[in-house]
């Protein structure tokens, strides 16, 4: 769930400023290996026991191959862009 613009501004530490908010959606296509390496670099996976990490990635790889048989994964992102405006 996306926070409201006012919550986004507050969380960014921009309260009291005049701020323009835009949501930018973008995507990229990467190889399955690149995608797995990217998510594997996240701390949530780095703290797992090695056997648990390997089991997770084996299952994840299996699911991704079924969903993306061409060995390419489309990653879609939505970014909140906040720009403080001059008064």
Domain limits, the chain? 5-84
Q: Which regions of the chain does DSSP assign to beta strands (E)?
A: 19-31, 72-84
Phi/psi-derived region of residue 74, left when phi > 0, alpha when psi is between -120 and 50, beta in every other case: beta
Residue 87 tokens, joined: 């008064």
Q: 35-68: per-residue pLDDT in tens? A: 999 988 888 888 989 999 999 999 999 999 999 9
Q: 8-34: per-residue pLDDT in tens? A: 888 888 888 989 888 899 999 999 999
Identify the band that residue 1 occupies on the pLDDT scale cut at 50, 70 and 90.
low
pLDDT value, residue 67: 92
């Amino acid at each position: 769930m996306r926070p409201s613009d006012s919550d986004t501004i507050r969380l960014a530490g921009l309260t009291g400023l005049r701020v323009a908010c835009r949501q930018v959606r973008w995507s990229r296509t990467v190889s399955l290996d690149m995608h797995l390496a990217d998510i594997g670099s996240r701390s949530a996976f780095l703290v797992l026991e090695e056997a648990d990490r390997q089991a997770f990635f084996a299952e994840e790889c299996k699911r991704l191959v079924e969903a993306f048989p061409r060995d390419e994964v489309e990653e879609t992102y939505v970014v909140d862009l906040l720009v403080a405006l001059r008064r």
